Structure 1
Amino acid sequence: MSLRSTVDFLLYQWLDAESLNERPRFADHSRETFDAVLDTCERIAREKYAPFNRLVDTQEPRFDGDQVILPQATHDAQKAYAESGMLSAAQDFEHGGMQLPYTIEAAANAFFAMASVSIGSGMLSTGNANLLMVHGTPLQKEVFAKNEFCGRFSGTMCLSEPQAGSSLSDVATRAMPDGEDYAQDPLGARYRLRGNKMWISAGDHELTENIIHLVLAKIPGPDGQLPTGTRGISLFIVPKKLVNEAGVLTGERNDVALAGLNHKLGWRGTVNTLLNFGEGKYPVRSTGGGLDGKGAGAVGYLVGQPGEGLRCMFHMMNEARIGVGIAATMLGLAGYEAALDYAKTRPQGRPAGPAGKDATQPQVPIIEHADVKRMLLAQKSYCEGALALELYCARLVDEQHSGTPEAADEARLLLEVLTPIAKSWPSEWCLEANSLAIQVHGGYGYTRDFPVEQYWRDNRLNMIHEGTHGIQAMDLLGRKVLMESGRGLALLAGRIQATAAQAQQVPELAAHAAALTAAWQQVTDATRAAWATGQPGDALANAVPYLQAFGHTVLAWIWLDVALSAQRQDATQSIAANVGRTRATAYFYHYELPKIGAWLQVVANRDLTCADMPEDAF
């Protein structure tokens, strides 16, 4: 079964994406236009990305003292992606976009992630521009966002700092108003930034004319001290090269200097940098025309209001978290397809039992061995289930932006609860799928003769970036399940219960429905028990096991809902494909869902074994 047939089933039979065309925003589209987008992206991914996945892994970005050098294949792929229109796929027609549902955009981008996540597509540039379209001034949208949408500029997000890591409250980059007339610049209130940022993907390259950095920094108070906590963080546009209000490059470099390239385990084709802002390497002319003193700072333009930077940045961060989930999913699927192909063609051993002891009999393909089937079925359940989850979340985005007010509000809350799962679950379990893909290949999987070792290396990053597992877990248990008096959790419960009630009426699925109902009750009881003392330290000590159990229960629900759709057979479906979905559902319920008991036990008991471990006892 091909990826495309799986995508088509999930989009059209399960999620009913065609019904979106009944809404005014998408009225100009049809199944034919959706398929044309998918066809185009599938072709570009096949021709411009997949053949060069190993090349960009071995020819890492390098700095020649003047600029960052990338393989020509990366330039060609990025150009083809920009020319496809996918950078502005969801934007209004009047802004040069295709006004596509995000559900279709996410599905189309999946092809690129599977072909070569390391080359990358436009996730950061699109997310950067989307943020500016919501929070930027009209001129900021025109000069920065629209040039990102057409591929002339590209974008980054600059959050982490060497001394702070993921602790954004400890951000120390400072932004000072640029003279008495700083508020008069047509591009926005003008500041000078000084500080250091690291782990900046696509932070320096020559793929586009300019790079637009979105930078978190703090504006000192009247006493010169930086505000404490995250509420004092502001957001700034800091272009690599200065532009005028017409979007034309002025010929001046901004004071943004490359401090180094990070050499990574995977994603080696993507530039990852340390950047210094305002160190004086590229002194910027003042508005009066003279050169400012060394270290005066990089020019930045305020986005939104002072102190609201993190609220603005979450617009991009949440979008990126779904993007990371899709990347993790597609790397898992790439490994699964490679393992499946290998298992079908690699002869080794003979069937179990007396007949298998006859060495004169021919060897069988390893897919005939039960344990290889177990590993393949695990991969299928993880990766196809994760793809369904990501597309479900994408469908919620469309509901939030184009549904009725009531449906939009429900979608907003469901996304709040599901986003930590959409980011974290695929990044853990599709990585496990990549590990199993190596195992199916045996010793060959551990060599560079086959692609599965690269898929594992590339996927290992996804548990870390855009918020580690620990951060996602604390966000889920410490905030998302509690917000608005638990209304998002209640909405999710309602949807889970509705699926279970439908499945209860189908004999083949009734046992799964009962197991899902029991699992959700366990999650509910553990949530209540974790917060029984009202002490965050007690509740959050086992936030990651809670995240794992919650995620497994959500995936069990997703699989049961998919299985219900598979039961509604029509002439366009493959019988074998639906048998595969039914068996993957059974695998998940028999082998995976039972794991939640151990995870939730330590949550419900508020077990402090880990939290109370003395440092000197390690």
Structure 2
Amino acid sequence: MSLRPTVDFLLHDWLKVENLQSRERFADHSRETFDAVLDTCERIAREKYAPFNRLVDTQEPHFDGEKVILPQATHDAYKAYAESGMLSAAQDYDIGGMQLPYTVEAAANAFFAMASVSIGSGMLTSGNANLLMVHGTDLQKQVFAANEFSGRFSGTMCLSEPQAGSSLSDVTTRATPDGDGFEADALGARYRLKGNKMWISSGEHELSENIIHLVLAKIPDANGQLVPGVKGISLFIVPKKMVDTNGQLTGERNDVALAGLNHKCGWRGTTNTLLNFGEGKYPVRGHTGAVGYLVGKPGEGLRCMFHMMNEARIGVGMAATMLGMAGYYASLDYAKNRPQGRPTGAGGKDASQPQVRIIEHADIKRMLLAQKAYSEGALALALYCARLVDEQHTGTSDDADVARLLLEVLTPIVKSFPSEWCLEANSLAIQIHGGYGYTRDFPVEQYWRDNRLNMIHEGTHGIQAMDLLGRKVLMENGRGLQLLADRMLATAAKAEGSWGPEAAALRDALQQVGQATQQAWDGAQPAQALANAVPYLQAFGHTVIAWIWLDVAASLGQDDTPAAQGRRAACRYFYRYELPKIGAWLNVVSSRDPTCAELPEEAF
């Protein structure tokens, strides 16, 4: 099966992306230019990515003592992706961009994620450059961001540390003002960084001329002490190789060294590294310490980095979605072609009858519908959020503010729902394959392994849950949550005629979420309210996907094609099999159930 008809339907029939052409920024675009971008990305993904997905899984990156070795296929894919212009697709014309709507860019990148998420498509590089376009100086934009957009340089984000994990307040990488007389460097205030960063994707390779690390570190106070908490965190550009103010390599390595490669259960084609900053292996101008250039103001590093982190969370959600979709298509193809078993008639099964294909069994249809409901629903949500990004950047001031708040509330969902439920879709794909599913004869076991990382990538499930219940639904007196509720109620009203029971179920789910939100916080301490944040996240996510499916179904009108029938069935499936789950999840939230929080560790 091809992904393209689904993408075309969501972009054009549901989201009406052509309406963006009326805006000055996108005035040069049309359905034809959007289709041309999708055609190009679909072709590159088909030719340079998909055939090598198993290869990069089995031929893991390795370090030969001098450099990291990756398969030639990865080099070819990176080159094709960079030459496509997708790294700078949404940027201004004057820096080589296409001024493409982010909605179309996100849809185009979906082809690469489905073909081989392990090879990658530059998500961190473009996110790194986009951050610098907002928070960097003019010269930092020219020297670093512009070369990342062209593919000449690539980028990373260096947050986590071995001893701190996701707890950024506990980072100990320190940045001290450079004492060798170069403090006034044109590229920014110069510092020397010393510390270690762990789980850095694409932290070392030879795919590009240079790697631009964005590194969180703390600047010591006057007494040489690190400020506790996140307020002391600053952000620095730390290139792997030193550059001049024209962006040319000086021939000198920065003091950044690969300490080791992490060997993962999935995403094996992408290097994942432990990096040492300032260990002295590559002293710069005779001094140890990696040279870093301050981005923004001291102490504002986390605020700057969230620009990249939120973008990456949407990207991780899209990656998880497309792995779910890949597994769905693979298991659908298998189910259509695998004969096994016989239909059950009035007298039981007749062994003399020929076997039927497994897609004729009700339970196989259940598992296929679940995968479709999870994956296509998640794709619709991801593209909806991408459309909000366009609204935030190019809408009226009021519309942009609404889009901003909706994105705040939906970002934890667009990251967490696919990473949990499209992983479940991959598990169901294995189940449909039976014993073949967990062998390497079929791709579905790799899809599951690749997808298992996404519940951890860019903020674990627990972190997303606490962000949602502890911050996002409360911010600005709950205005974001109310705006989302208004859109859900508008969909219910629109769908009332042809989808009456589902519209009523959506209103009921929304009421349950609202009550649970209030009851979780009513007179509670944060530890009590947040003890069951993950069940809250799951219920909230299911309510959001139910809304998305109802909106999609209501847009079908009188369309009676097989594709429309499938979407209606997925909507019905989600409302009948999935949405009722939220009651159990929200019960423990509303009652602030202490079962987990109060159990002493000895009891385990």
Do they superpose with TM above 0.5? yes
Shift of 1:534: 3.5
Q: Deviations over 1:397-436 (max 9, x none)?
A: 0000000100000000000000000000000000000000
Match of 1:499 in 2: 491
Q: CA deviation at 1:352?
A: 1.7
Aligned counterparts, 1:459-478, within 5 A:
459-478=451-470
Q: CA 1:181–1:500 in 2, change beyond 3 Å: closer, same or farther?
A: same
Superposed CA deviations along residues 265-302 of structure 1, whole A, max 9, x for unmatched, are 000000000000000011111xxxxx12xxx3100000
Deviant stretches of 4+, over 6 Å: none
CA distance in 1, matches of 2:558, 2:203: 48
Q: Distance in 2 between matches of 1:567 and 1:545?
A: 35
Q: Which amino acid aligns with 1:367?
A: I
Task: Please say if residues 152 and 210 of structure 1, whose CA atoms lie closer than 8 Å, have aligned partners that are also in contact.
Answer: yes
Distance in 2 (alpha carbons) for counterparts of 1:578 and 1:465 = 34
1:313 corresponds to which of 295, 305, 311? 305
Selected match of 1:439 from 405, 428, 431: 431
Aligned partner of residue 291 in structure 2, secondary structure: strand
Residue 204 of structure 1 contacts residue 271 of structure 1 at CA under 8 Å; is this kept in 2? yes
1:113 partner SS:
helix
Structure 1 distance, partners of 2:180, 2:497, is 71
Aligned-residue offset at 1:307: 0.2
Q: Distance in 2 between matches of 1:282 and 1:346?
A: 58
| 1:435-469 Cα deviation digits (max 9, x unpaired) | 00000000000100000000000000000010000
Letter in 1 for 2:478: G
Give 2:588's aligned residue. Answer: 602
Q: 1:94: which partner in 2? A: 94
1:533 to 2:519 alignment: no
Secondary structure in structure 1 of the residue aligned to 2:251: strand
Residue 524 (1) aligns with residue 514 (2): yes
Q: Secondary structure at 1:449's aligned position in 2?
A: coil
Matched, 1:336 2:322: no
Matched, 1:511 2:516: no
Residue of structure 1 in register with 2:356 after alignment: 364
Aligned residue in 2 for 1:241: 241
Alpha-carbon distance in 2 for matches of 1:354, 1:361: 14
Query: In structure 1, how many angstroms separate the alpha carbons of the residues matched to 2:442 and 2:375?
Result: 20
**In 2, distance between residues paired with 1:124 and 1:501?**
40
- Maintained 8 Å contact 1:196/1:276: yes
Q: CA deviation at 1:184?
A: 1.1
Structure 1 distance, partners of 2:501, 2:568, is: 13
Distance 1:353 1:512 in 2: 33
Per the TM alignment, residue 2 of structure 1 is displaced from its structure 2 partner at its CA by 3.0
Give the structure 2 partner of residue 586 of structure 1: 572
Distance 1:355 1:307 in 2: 75
In structure 2, how many angstroms separate the alpha carbons of the residues matched to 1:271 and 1:363? 46
1:613 pairs with one of 592, 599, 604: 599
Q: How does 1:108-119 map to 2 (within 5 A)?
A: 108-119=108-119
Which residue in 2 is equivalent to 1:288? none
Whole-Å separation in 2 of the counterparts to 1:556 and 1:525 = 18
CA distance in 2, matches of 1:355, 1:48: 53
Superposed, 1:275-314 pairs within 5 Å as 275-285=275-285, 291-292=286-287, 296-314=288-306
d(CA) in 1 for partners of 2:360, 2:489 = 37
Aligned to 2:58: 58
1:616 Cα offset (Å): 1.3
1-side partners of 2:289 and 2:421: how far apart? Answer: 44
C-alpha separation in 2, matches of 1:559 and 1:183:
55
1:469-499: per-residue Cα shift (whole Å, max 9, x none)? Answer: 0000000000000000000000000000000
User: C-alpha root-mean-square deviation of aligned residues, in Å?
Assistant: 0.9
With normalisation by structure 2, the TM-score equals 0.99
Alignment-mate amino acid for residue 523 of structure 1 = V
Give 5+ residue unaligned stretches, structure 2: none
Paired residue total: 604
Alignment correspondent of 1:388: 380
1:484: which partner in 2?
A: 476
Contact in 2 for aligned 1:260/1:275 (Cα 8 Å): yes
Q: Deviations over 1:40-64 (max 9, x none)?
A: 0000000000000000000000000
Distance 1:186 1:356 in 2: 82
**Secondary structure, counterpart of 1:567 in structure 2:** coil
3-state SS, counterpart of residue 213 of structure 1: strand
- Asked if 2 retains the 8 angstrom alpha-carbon contact of 1:350 and 1:356, the reply is no
Q: Kindly provide the CA deviation profile for residues 123-153 of structure 1, in whole angstroms up to 9, marking residues without a partner as x.
A: 0000000000000000000000000000000
- Specify the SS of the correspondent of 2:238: strand
Structure 1 letter corresponding to 2:267:
W
How far apart, CA to CA, are the structure 1 residues paired with 2:146 and 2:348?
65
The residue correspondences of 1:4-43 to structure 2 (distance < 5 A) are 4-43=4-43
Task: Tell me the distance in 2 between the aligned counterparts of 1:501 and 1:568.
Answer: 18
Matched, 1:70 2:70: yes
Q: Tell me the distance in 1 between the aligned counterparts of 2:312 and 2:51.
A: 26
* Counterpart-to-counterpart distance in 1, 2:165 and 2:558: 49
- Cα distance in 1 for residues equivalent to 2:45 and 2:550: 31
* Alignment partners' CA distance in 2, 1:389 and 1:276: 38
User: How far apart are the structure 2 equivalents of 1:350 and 1:46?
Assistant: 37
Q: 1:568 to 1:323 in 2, by over 3 A?
A: farther
| SS of equivalent to 1:379 | helix
1:376 equivalent among 368, 379, 385: 368
* 1:373–1:189 distance in 2 versus 1, CA, 3 Å: same
SS of the equivalent of 1:348 reads coil
Structure 1 residues 481 and 36 mapped into 2: Cα distance closer, same or farther (>3 Å)? same
Contact 1:45 1:111 in 2 (8 A): yes
Does the CA contact (< 8 Å) of 1:338 and 1:437 recur in 2? Answer: yes
CA–CA distance in structure 2, aligned partners of residues 353 and 162 of structure 1: 60
Per the alignment, residue 415 of structure 2 pairs with 423
3-state SS of paired residue (2:537): helix
Counting only pairs closer than 5 Å after superposition, residues 138-217 of structure 1 correspond to structure 2 as 138-179=138-179, 181-217=181-217
Structure 1: tracts of 5 or more residues without a match? 286-290
2: distance between equivalents of 1:63 and 1:167?
A: 29
Inter-CA distance 378–181: structure 2 relative to 1 (3 Å threshold): same
Q: Any idea what SS the aligned residue of 2:593 has?
A: coil
Q: Distance in 1 between matches of 2:558 and 2:304?
A: 43
Asked whether the equivalents of residues 182 and 191 of structure 1 are also in contact (C-alpha less than 8 Å), the reply is: no
Partner of 1:85: 85
Change beyond 3 A, Cα 1:252–1:17? same
Task: Determine the structure 1 residue equivalent to 2:532.
Answer: 542
In structure 1, distance between residues paired with 2:558 and 2:362? 29
Q: Distance in 1 between matches of 2:146 and 2:412?
A: 30
> What's the CA shift for 1:183?
3.5
Distance in structure 2 (CA, Å) of the matches to 1:90 and 1:34: 12
Identity of aligned residues (%): 80
Counterpart for residue 103 of structure 2:
103
SS at match of 1:281: coil
Could you tell me how far apart the structure 2 residues matched to 1:26 and 1:451 are?
A: 39
**Matched-pair contact (CA < 8 Å) for 1:14–1:565:** yes
Amino acid in structure 2 at the alignment position of 1:563: A
Deviation of 1:360 (Å): 1.5
Q: Could you tell me whether the CA contact under 8 Å between 1:389 and 1:558 is conserved in 2?
A: yes
- Checking the alignment, whether the CA contact within 8 Å between 1:186 and 1:245 is kept in structure 2 is yes
Q: Please name the residue that 2:132 is paired with.
A: 132
Contact 1:59 1:269 in 2 (8 A): yes
State the 1:566 CA deviation: 1.3
Report the CA distance between 1:182 and its aligned residue: 4.2
